Chains A and B, each alone.
Chain A
Amino acid sequence: MKTESMKKLLIANRGEIARRIIRTCRKMGIFTVAVYSEADAQAAFVEEADESVCIGPAPAVKSYLNIDNIIAAARQTGAEAIHPGYGFLSENYRFAATCEAENLVFIGPSSEVIKTMGDKLMARRLMEAAGVPVVPGRSEKIGDLQQARSAAEALGFPVMLKASSGGGGVGIAKVDNDDALSKALSETVAKSQALFGDGTVFIEKFIENPRHVEVQIVADNKENIVHLYERECSVQRRNQKVIEESPSAGMTDAARERLLRMALEGIRHIGYTGVGTLEFLLDHDENFYFLEMNTRLQVEHPVTEMITGIDLVEMQIRIADGEPLPLKQQDIRLQGHALECRLYAEDPETFLPQPGKIAKLQLPSRDTRLDFAVREGDVITPYYDPMIGKIITHDTDRNRNLSKMLRVLEAVNVQGIRTNLPLLEKILRDPSFAAGQYDTTLVPKMTANTMDAHREGLTC
């Protein structure tokens, strides 16, 4: 169970993912160091780690994004490795490069690969060269309005303008017609320059009502690459995921096989090591298009762990420690069906975040895996992500698993703050979700009326 060399690991993250990483480290006999902001001094993950170091005040830029303070905490505690979790510094190539320069093991791919795949235009070109389908568009920087216009006319409106340094739904603009193009282009360039320090923008065709499906891959330093099947992530609000499942319900076996094969070819082409995810858009004719790559652990990794029985955090640590993959593709079996519901501290209709004290937190103890950030009595501050926990279920097939998840959700009781629990139950009972026939428009359609009313309300 133990690794060859790793004895102490620092977790440069917080909340449920810090607790999740601690669990695997404990199993592997690795000591853990939590780093925390002043706002998180009482948090569960700080208590559960073997050691903890305060790295600054509540705002993330002063603590969880403060590279100098995190490196100093690793030096002070003698940690040999840093796990970045997801979000924060997990895809920051400067952080990975600093770890490399400081002889700290960064649990993830090389800083060079993070930099390359973080450049959306470069990632698009690489995938194109590997033969992976990309969204119809131009794999070049848009130099001026004339170039944008000729590209948009060739593709046909609507089109998407995308910031090359953006991602996760930030720095993108849908353009419906030629009249709107000039303004959208100058705004996207300016926003991209302001947010990312890079005004490079490119253009793609807008895919109508797509589904969002991603492929989990694992690669070691010895050119062994496997996939761990796909995750269906089309249940989204504000471009962020709410419910994920694996396997995807609405995909034929032929399409799945093609998707998984393409993902492996793409990964082989870029020389990736570690755990990573290729995100794709699927249209209603089962055409799929590479969207972006996440060079880190995903929030929704538990659904993959449930259907394969593989601990992805353990895989990350072993690969970063130089070990070869312990299994081959034929050893990985897709078993049953897994679902993950993200419980957010937010209004179920307006999606407005709800900081506050969790007066009561009752969770079922059977039939579910609970990856939670908080305990009863904890206070949710306004500083970080509204996700307070993930509820994961697994069963032999999708129908049984949907029923199981509904029973589990009915047994969840959170008081003191509003959560999206009613929305989760509503989605699970939705006929198109139950039939597996849904795309990214599912939640926006369900909540369209209340959102309009809310928008009018805010300006009154």
Chain B
Amino acid sequence: MATITIQTPIPGILYHRPAPEQACYAQTGQKLQPEDTICLIEVMKTYHEIKSGKGGTFVRYLVDNEAVVEAGQDIALIESDEN
């Protein structure tokens, strides 16, 4: 088990939820598959789902909901299933 950080490949405004009234994409302790979405990034009227990329357990977001992020910035922590 190793704790790994997820980076966003694109800059923009990061959302923890698909819509304001809906639940977060990921909750602490939640099991994740590599193709699971962990957050949404809005940049210039386009929306991009950011995938976990790795299987594991979600630990926490590293940036607030609606925060402005840079490309390459660390955005979330997960416990990887891989050794």
Contact = CB atoms under 8 A, between A and B. Distances in A.
Interface of A: 59, 194, 238, 345-346, 352-353, 355-356, 382-386, 458-460
Contacts of A238: 46
Contacts of A384: 44-45
A243 B56 CA distance: 46
A356 B12 CA distance: 10
Interface in B1-42: 9-13, 19, 35, 42
Contacts of B46: 238, 352-353
B66 to A, nearest CB: 8
B43 A382 contact: yes
B35 A459 contact: yes
Given A353-B44, A353-B46, A355-B44, A382 B13 contact: yes
B68 interface: yes
Nearest to A457: B9
Contact of B53 (A353, A382, A460): A460
Contacts of B45: 384-386
Contact of A382 (B9, B44, B51): B44
A459 B48 CA distance: 11
A386 B45 CA distance: 8
Nearest to A355: B11
A413 B11 CA distance: 23
Contacts of B66: 59
B51 A345 contact: no
B44 A345 contact: yes
Interface string B40-82: 0011111010010100000000000010100000000000000
Interface residues of B, number: 17
A356 to B, nearest CB: 8
Nearest to A60: B45
Contact of A383 (B9, B10, B13): B13
27 contacts: A59-B13, A59-B66, A194-B19, A238-B46, A346-B44, A353-B10, A353-B43, A353-B44, A353-B46, A355-B11, A355-B12, A355-B43, A355-B44, A356-B11, A382-B11, A382-B13, A382-B42, A382-B43, A383-B13, A383-B44, A384-B44, A385-B45, A386-B45, A458-B48, A459-B51, A459-B53, A460-B53
Nearest to B12: A382
Interface of A is mostly: loop
Contacts of A356: 11
Nearest to B10: A352
Given A59-B66, A345-B44, A382-B12, 13 more contacts: A59-B13, A238-B46, A352-B43, A353-B44, A355-B43, A355-B44, A382-B11, A382-B43, A382-B44, A384-B44, A384-B45, A385-B45, A459-B53
Contacts of B68: 382
Nearest to A240: B45
Contacts of B13: 59, 382-383
Contacts of A355: 11-12, 43-44
Contact of A386 (B19, B42, B44): B44
A59 B11 CA distance: 15
A348 to B, nearest CB: 15
Contacts of B51: 458-459
A238 B47 CA distance: 13
Contacts of B19: 194
B45 to A, nearest CB: 6
B82 to A, nearest CB: 15
Contacts of B9: 458
A458 B37 CA distance: 12
A371 B15 CA distance: 33
Nearest to B9: A458
A385 B44 contact: yes
A287 B66 CA distance: 47
A346 B12 CA distance: 13
A346 B13 CA distance: 16
A346 B43 CA distance: 11
